[in-house]
Amino acid sequence: MALPDSPPLGPDAIRLDGRVAVVTGGGAGIGRGVAAALTAFGARVAVWERDADKAGVGVELDGLGLTVDVREADQVERALTETIAGLGTPTILVNNAGGTFRQPFLESTQNGRDAVHRANLGQVLLCTQLVARAMVDAELGGSIVNLTSIEADRAAPGYAAYAASKAGIANFTRSAAVELATHGIRVNAVAPDITATEGILERAGDDAPRRWADLVPLGRSGTVAEVAGVVAFLASDLAAYVTGETIHVDGGTAAAGGWYRHPETGEHVLGPR
């Protein structure tokens, strides 16, 4: 049996020249970093952003900035039509949009839980379906990357509905990867933990770097660029045989499983000591 043909591996394998990407929630934080990274590697990017003041990031990156609520099917359909007309059919989709709020489970309401699921899981299914259909119709194949969270794999007291929605994204990633593989579409996920975005830093407090140094095996928070780099890898030909996977970009916290460095002794401990 002859070995399958394999193109030579080189620096150009990470390039995304000639490809069109959609980044949902790309106006700030991780989404903005992802949009910038994909642009840096050669893609033309359409930023789909609910906040009209932030959607202009796409234009700043020489792509498109569209104001769209990705929870609404008619708005997603319109944004996809405008993206295809302005840039071409997307072959990269990054489902980054989402949100949450604290709601202790016994005090939570049906409306609150539904809102969290719609904001996180529902819109991922919607955007994936519509953009994947466009990829199939154009016979282009592509790469879909879903932003989930470490909370998909660990308890999140006060955020049960959010954690469940993120776990749903991880499982959807596997299922969609199998269904869409015959069309040449790969589906993967990225699961960050503590990432130094504007929103996180505003709420974290002055002692956050010290606390993060104890909690994260690598001793610090992650950066937006570090998450965006993994997304760019998954979008590129370097990941041509990777599908159905969730990559944790978390400095080792998922691997630690609750073990952390004691702030006084520096020893690894599990739980309070």
pLDDT digits (tens, 9 = 90+) for 217-269: 999 898 999 999 999 999 999 999 999 999 999 999 999 988 888 888 888 88
pLDDT digits (tens, 9 = 90+) for 143-158: 999 999 999 999 899 9
**Percent of the chain scored above 90 by pLDDT?**
78
The CATH homologous superfamily for domain 16-205+221-257 is NAD(P)-binding Rossmann-like Domain (3.40.50.720)
Active site residue 241: no
* Residue 181, pLDDT above cutoff 90: yes
- What b/e sequence results for 7-27 when a residue is b if at least 16 CB atoms lie within 10 Å of its CB, and e otherwise? eeeeeeebbbeebbbbbbbbb
Tokens 């869409």 correspond to what residue? 180
* Residue 1, pLDDT above cutoff 80: no
Q: Which residues pair with 261 in a beta bridge?
A: 268
The per-residue pLDDT for 269 is 83
pLDDT digits (tens, 9 = 90+) for 48-64: 999 999 999 999 999 99
The per-residue pLDDT for 198 is 73
Task: Look up residue 20 and give its amino acid.
Answer: V
Q: Check 159, 162, 241, 260 and give the catalytic one.
A: 162
Provide the mean pLDDT of the chain.
93
* Residue 201, pLDDT above cutoff 70: no
pLDDT digits (tens, 9 = 90+) for 25-47: 999 999 999 999 999 999 999 99
Residue 202's pLDDT band, with cuts at 50, 70 and 90, is low
